[in-house]
Amino acid sequence: MNTLLEPSRQTEPKPASTKVRQYTGEVVYIYAFDVAYEMTRQPIRELLGQPVAQFAVDASKRSPRQLFFYRPQMVTLPPMERIGPLGAV
> What gap in Å lies between CA 69 and CA 55, rounded to an integer?
13
pLDDT given at position 34: 62
Q: Are the CB atoms for 64 and 70 separated by under 8 Å?
A: yes
> What gap in Å lies between CA 57 and CA 45, rounded to an integer?
20
pLDDT given at position 82: 87
pLDDT given at position 38: 72
Q: What pLDDT tens digit does each residue of the chain (89 aa) get? A: 555 555 556 666 666 667 778 888 888 877 666 666 677 777 889 988 999 988 876 666 666 666 556 677 889 888 888 888 888 88
pLDDT given at position 51: 92
